[in-house]
Amino acid sequence: MQMLRNSLVVVIMLAALSLAACASLIAPSVKTGQAALRAGDYVLDHDHAALVFKIDHMGFSQFIGRFERFEAALDFDDADAASARLEAAIDITSLDIANDKFAATLMGPNWFHVDAYPKAVFRSTNIEITGENTGRILGELTLHGVTRPVRLDVTFNGGARDILRGGYVIGFSAVGSFDRKDFGIDRFSGVVGDMVKIEIEAEFLRR
């Protein structure tokens, strides 16, 4: 019996070592810095992206929502990262606030009015490198039929080849804000906050 127990322990240890070895082979060696920003044409990995917004709710809390469907493409030259171009399109009908009835209200004519404006689009106009792994994206956001300048402060989280996705991947975090009244969404202004905070997590796969 003792010999059987010892054998089982050996098998379990070998299996654990094997799994650890496999994990080390699968896990990408993510590197930061501009050297990891390899030139190319990138497309958003929808399975590893999130677009969240926050707005003050009468001073009590931050009301939080997200959009489940959005597309983004990034193209840049590593020799001139500031020349990069970013374009994103957000499906406003994919609004998720964990309350379907209220989401329908927000998508109605008094708020997003998705029947007339089902999508929002962001196009970069200029990119500034502010640090080893930080930058600022200046662009134009078209929302609710209105186009206004918006700034995103971006952190480059790193890049590496990912064998599971079969290509080179880069990841970013970004934050920004805008006044909803600038886009004609002024329902309950002064009661509900006017400034909308945006938080983005995104991974891009090089085509």
Range of the domain at 195: 30-206
Is residue 56, in this structure, part of any structural domain at all? yes
pLDDT for 132-156, tens place per residue? 999 999 999 999 999 999 999 999 9
The burial of 70, by beta-carbon neighbours within 10 Å (0-12 exposed, 13-18 middle, 19 or more buried), is given as: buried
Measuring CA to CA, which residue among 194, 197, 201, 191 is closest to residue 44?
201
pLDDT for 57-108, tens place per residue? 999 999 999 999 999 999 988 777 778 899 999 999 999 999 999 999 999 9
Is residue 6, in this structure, part of any structural domain at all? no
Is residue 37, in this structure, part of any structural domain at all? yes
Position 160 pLDDT exceeds 90: yes
- pLDDT value of residue 76: 85
Is residue 131, in this structure, part of any structural domain at all? yes
Is residue 15, in this structure, part of any structural domain at all? no
- pLDDT value of residue 204: 98
Q: Output the pTM of the full model.
A: 0.85
pLDDT for 6-15, tens place per residue? 555 554 554 4
CATH at 43: 2.40.128.110
- pLDDT value of residue 172: 97
List, in order, residues 6 or more apart from 103 with CB less than 8 Å away: 95, 96, 97
Is residue 16, in this structure, part of any structural domain at all? no
Token digits for 54?
A: 């926050």
Query: DSSP E strands: which ranges in the chain?
Result: 40-57, 61-67, 70-77, 80-91, 95-96, 119-129, 134-143, 146-162, 167-179, 192-206
**What is the total count of domains within the chain?**
1
Is residue 200, in this structure, part of any structural domain at all? yes
Q: How far, in Å, CA of 50 to CA of 122, rounded?
A: 15
- pLDDT value of residue 5: 58
What average pLDDT does range 113-136 have in this prediction? 96
Is residue 123, in this structure, part of any structural domain at all? yes
